[in-house]
């Protein structure tokens, strides 16, 4: 997947591709092969060239705040590449909420059906990423508007697994 990102005020083109349990990260001038171990939804361990780096991530005001090996970065998607997408947190103006995977992976199980009423924090799907299972939960109370994938499909972080509609 290719991205055009603003990192600390500068535009960078970055490509990230999963391969054999690792990620190939192309930074234009540099290509990195990394393994990522998930500690919790915001904490990871990156292994690059047999060195381990703690990696922390937080989302605030459409920006990603990263701390990697003690260095801090602020990242946002460059406006020129933005498509109309759901925000990672929040509901769009039509009352819909996209539910995405925390990282690229494979959908192991869809736990709901279209039209089903769901409560906040209810389990919606199980995604396998980096050889770990991640439970995807509802961030709002509402109804399952649309399911975009089926079990065994591969999914990226930008692709909504399903869409919820706010309960009136």
Of 41-45, 53-57, 94-98, 137-141, the least confident: 94-98
Q: pTM for this one?
A: 0.48
Domain shared by 75 and 35, yes or no: yes
**Tokens 């961030």 correspond to what residue?**
139
The CATH number covering residue 102 comes to 2.40.50.100
**Same domain for 70 and 101?**
no
Same domain as 26, residue 62: yes
Q: Per-residue confidence at 116, pLDDT binned at 50, 70, 90? A: very high
Q: Is the same domain home to 138 and 68?
A: no
* pLDDT grade for 87, boundaries at 50, 70 and 90: very low
Cα→Cα distances 4→9, 29, 75, 82, Å: 12, 15, 10, 9
Would you state the structure tokens that stand for residue 97, as one six-digit string? 């909420």
- Structure confidence by residue, pLDDT tens digits, 128-140: 877 788 888 888 8
Per the CB < 8 A criterion, the answer to whether 165 and 152 are in contact is no
Same domain membership, residue 33 and residue 75: yes
pLDDT of residue 86: 39
Q: Which pLDDT score, from 0 to 100, does residue 115 have?
A: 94
- CA neighbor of 153 nearest in space, from 122, 113, 109: 109
Total structural domains within the chain: 2
Lowest model confidence (mean pLDDT) among 10-14, 89-93, 103-107: 89-93
Q: State which residues form the domain around 19.
A: 2-81
Q: Domain for residue 54, yes or no?
A: yes
Of 53, 81, 109, the one marking the end of a domain is 81
Contacts of 46 by beta carbon, 8 Å cutoff, 6+ apart: 34, 35, 36, 52, 53, 54, 55, 68
What integer pLDDT is reported at residue 79 of this predicted model?
57
Whether 90 is in a domain gets the answer no
Residues 14 and 58 in one domain: yes
| 6 plus 76 within the same structural domain | yes
SS3 call for 33: strand
């Amino acid at each position: 997947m290719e991205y055009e990102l603003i990192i600390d005020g500068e535009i960078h083109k970055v490509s990230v591709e999963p391969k054999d349990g690792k990620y190939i990260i192309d930074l234009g001038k540099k290509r990195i092969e990394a393994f990522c171990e998930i500690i919790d939804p915001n904490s990871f361990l990156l292994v690059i060239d047999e060195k381990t780096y703690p990696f922390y991530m937080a989302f605030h005001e459409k920006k990603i705040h990263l701390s990697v090996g003690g260095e801090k970065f602020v990242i946002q998607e460059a406006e020129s590449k933005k498509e109309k997408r759901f925000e990672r947190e929040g509901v769009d103006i039509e009352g819909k909420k996209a539910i995405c995977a925390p990282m690229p992976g494979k959908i192991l199980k869809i736990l709901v059906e279209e039209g089903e009423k769901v409560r906040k924090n209810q389990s919606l799907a199980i995604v396998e990423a980096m050889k770990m299972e991640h439970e995807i939960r509802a961030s709002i109370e509402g109804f399952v508007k649309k399911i975009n994938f089926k079990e065994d499909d591969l999914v990226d972080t930008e692709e909504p697994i399903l869409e919820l509609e706010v309960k009136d």
